[in-house]
């Protein structure tokens, strides 16, 4: 009985694991690169995932000149779905002068054909009572070939710049941008969020960015109309 239960559990885990791709974080200061895969489920990772929850990828350590980095990427199945993607990235960085590129990628999204509406929100703020000049740029890539860390840009943030010496600053530098682009294939595709963070002085900054995507509103209107027509046709057949 116990053996049967274990076999069933193993089968369930195998099926569940196949439903989702492997979200992956990549961090680089140009000289040192860290790669972290969700649940350590890939063969090219350089560091272990600090999170034990599927859909959350986390790193805590140093990246070259950045003495301390805590970065977390969140996506499906925790946040968003295959048809309505969400990529959420939070990165806290302490360093000397330098640039850090934090990349978060996920594959196997399957949106309906037609236009997709992507929205990118970003907030940059400083931490601690140390003067700091931090700037950040974020871009999201769409790849119809479903590849890791590649694709064509579909939406980008405004150039964020934060200059202050108060804890977290009086207000974060914020950006909100929206873009409409076509989904031309029903095959799975990937999305990649790339954040480039530059410190020109000593200090600590935090960047939080979220990309969300839904079909264009017209899709839902057409779907609702189609469903209502089917309902009417069914009622007529039963009368």
Percent of the chain clearing pLDDT 90 (strictly above): 56
Q: Rounded distance, CA 194 to CA 114, Å?
A: 25
Q: Are 141 and 191 in contact (CB under 8 A)?
A: yes
Residue whose C-alpha is closest to residue 63's, from 185, 195, 221? 195
Q: How confident is the model at residue 152 (pLDDT cuts 50, 70, 90)?
A: very high
Residue whose C-alpha is closest to residue 30's, from 134, 102, 100, 135? 100
Residue whose C-alpha is closest to residue 106's, from 49, 146, 78? 146
pLDDT digits (tens, 9 = 90+) for 10-60: 333 333 333 448 999 999 999 999 999 999 999 999 999 999 999 999 999
Q: Which of 4-8, 32-36, 97-101 reaches the highest mean pLDDT?
A: 32-36
Q: Which tokens hold the place of 99?
A: 């640039």
**Length, in residues, of the chain:** 239
DSSP conformational letter for 81: -
Q: Are 197 and 69 in contact (CB under 8 A)?
A: no
Query: What pLDDT, on the 0 to 100 scale, is given for residue 170?
Result: 53
Higher pLDDT, 167 or 38: 38
142 has pLDDT over 70? yes
Average pLDDT in the 53-77 region? 95
């Amino acid at each position: 009985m116990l053996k049967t239960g274990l076999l069933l559990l193993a089968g369930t885990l195998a099926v569940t694991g196949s439903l989702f791709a492997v979200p992956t974080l990549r961090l680089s200061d140009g000289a040192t690169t860290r790669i972290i895969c969700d649940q350590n489920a890939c063969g090219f990772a350089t560091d272990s995932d600090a999170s034990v929850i599927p859909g959350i990828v986390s790193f805590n350590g140093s990246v070259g000149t950045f003495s301390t980095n805590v970065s977390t990427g969140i996506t499906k199945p925790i946040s968003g779905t295959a048809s309505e993607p969400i990529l959420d990235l939070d990165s806290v960085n302490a360093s000397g002068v330098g640039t850090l590129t934090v990349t978060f990628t996920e594959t196997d999204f399957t949106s309906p054909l037609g236009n997709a509406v992507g929205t990118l929100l970003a907030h940059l703020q400083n931490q601690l009572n140390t003067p700091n000049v931090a700037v950040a740029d974020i871009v999201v890539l769409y790849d119809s070939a479903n590849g890791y860390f590649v694709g064509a840009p579909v939406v980008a943030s405004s150039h964020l710049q934060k200059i202050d010496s108060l804890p977290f600053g009086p207000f974060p530098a914020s950006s909100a941008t929206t873009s409409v682009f076509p989904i031309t294939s029903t095959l799975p595709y990937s999305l990649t969020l790339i954040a480039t963070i530059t410190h020109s002085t000593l200090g600590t900054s935090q960047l939080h960015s979220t990309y969300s995507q839904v079909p264009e509103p017209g899709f839902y209107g057409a779907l609702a109309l189609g469903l209502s027509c089917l309902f009417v046709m069914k009622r007529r057949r039963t009368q």
